[in-house]
Amino acid sequence: MMVEVFKTNVNDQERASWLIEQIQISCNYIASFDLEDCDRILVVRCASGTIHASQVIDLLRKHNYVAEVLADE
């Protein structure tokens, strides 16, 4: 399973839930937010294939949110 982690500016749980639905519908990825984290983490998983980070970033941008890939540490 491939996993990509993003830093976002999403701060509302209701909006986060809606964005998760959009990611699942548009990108066919499994997504979850950790809004308690200072970076408001978005975790995206893909059971098969590759995660296209630009697709997720563009989807959030389309809805006036910012997302950037967090580097592996």
pLDDT, tens digit, 9 for 90 and up, residues 8-65: 999 999 999 999 999 999 999 999 999 999 999 999 999 888 999 999 999 999 999 9
In CATH, which of 3.90.950.10, 3.50.50.60, 3.30.70.100, 3.40.1390.10 is domain 2-69? Answer: 3.30.70.100
- Better-predicted residue by pLDDT, 3 or 73: 3
**Coil vs helix vs strand at 57:** helix
Rg of the chain's alpha carbons, rounded to an integer? 11
Q: What is the pTM of this model?
A: 0.93
